[in-house]
Amino acid sequence: MITREPFEYPENASRRERLYLAAREGLAELGRAVLLGSRALCALPGLRRPRAQAEFMRQMYVCGIESLPVITVVALFTGMILALQIGIELQRYNQEFRIGSAVMVSMLREMGPFITGQILAACVGSAMAAQLGTMTVNDEIAALEMMSINPVRFLVTPRLAAMMIMTPILSFYTCMMGSLGGSVIGMTQLNVPWSQYLGAALEFARVKELLVGLLKALLYGMIVTTVACHEGLTATQGAEGVGSATRRSVVISFLLILIVGYFVTRIFY
């Protein structure tokens, strides 16, 4: 099991020393999280067992179906906001008929995976961190180890596999809902017919945008799960520690999604 050792600054440490020690501790935590994710990935073949498959299907339901209402509302209004803001500018040049391509490409390339990752980090990742953190502080993880049950294979792997499958699916769903919301604005406020909106969207939406967006979603799902499970399994100090672990998992996931999203975009474009 990966545990978080208590970290304290030495007495009379200067500001530079504190910054160095904080950076070193952050890198150490990153290494532990990467190790946890690697171990969970290596245990993926174990999901073929019937009991593991049942937990895997339950996690897919939690990650996917239970997140649909929030994702639907956020995606629809994101597409409407994009269409409204971009359409107002395009109207200056009598190019509002291109609003479909702008919304579709934006959703496929960036906004769809980003929205999905942020919602899953806030809804699913926080729940994972709280659940595993509660099990950790109540010594349930230690009890699993005493029974020779690997906590990573038993708890982390089903969650990681479920997120790796459901996040790209939800990202594609987000893109479609966002484009639908944009079409509503196009027809009601920009006088763009549905056929013209759809034609422009399909004309400029290349396969590359779809594949890059799905790759981002896959990476975001792995990041959210790894960070949440790592924070949960290293929680300490009872209920207060569980709350801190949950908050850290959401904040770190948000930051990593932004950073990884930039570098993926930079690599492919």
* Span 198-231, pLDDT tens digits: 888 888 788 888 999 999 999 999 999 999 999 9
Rounded to whole angstroms, how far apart are CA atoms 71 and 112? 10
Please state, for a pLDDT cut of 90, what percent of the chain lies above it: 40
Mean pLDDT over 166-174 rounds to 94
Rounded to whole angstroms, how far apart are CA atoms 241 and 45? 33
Query: How do the domains of the chain map onto residue ranges?
Result: 21-268
Sorted by sequence, the CB contacts under 8 Å of residue 168 that are 6+ apart come out as 214, 217, 218, 221
Rounded to whole angstroms, how far apart are CA atoms 214 and 218? 6
Maximum mean pLDDT: which of 98-112, 168-182, 231-245: 168-182
3-state SS, residue 92: coil
Mean pLDDT over 243-261 rounds to 92
Helix axes 238-268, 126-137, angle to 10 degrees: 140
DSSP state of 237: S
Asked if pLDDT for residue 264 goes beyond 70, the answer is: yes
Mean pLDDT over 135-153 rounds to 86
Rounded to whole angstroms, how far apart are CA atoms 43 and 153? 6
Opening angle at CA 123, ends 168 and 25, nearest 5: 90
| pLDDT at res. 259 | 94
| pLDDT at res. 225 | 94
Q: If you write DSSP's letter for every residue of 142-194 in order, what string do you get?
A: HHHHHTT--HIIIIIHHHHHHHHHHHHHHHHHHHHHHHHHHHHHHHHTS---H
Q: If we measure between CA atoms, which residue out of 58, 66, 105, 63 comes closest to residue 210?
A: 105
| pLDDT at res. 7 | 54
Q: What is the pLDDT of residues 14-53, one digit of tens each?
A: 777 778 777 877 788 888 888 988 898 888 888 888 878 8
Please, what is the average pLDDT of the chain?
Answer: 87
119 — pLDDT class (breaks 50, 70, 90): very high
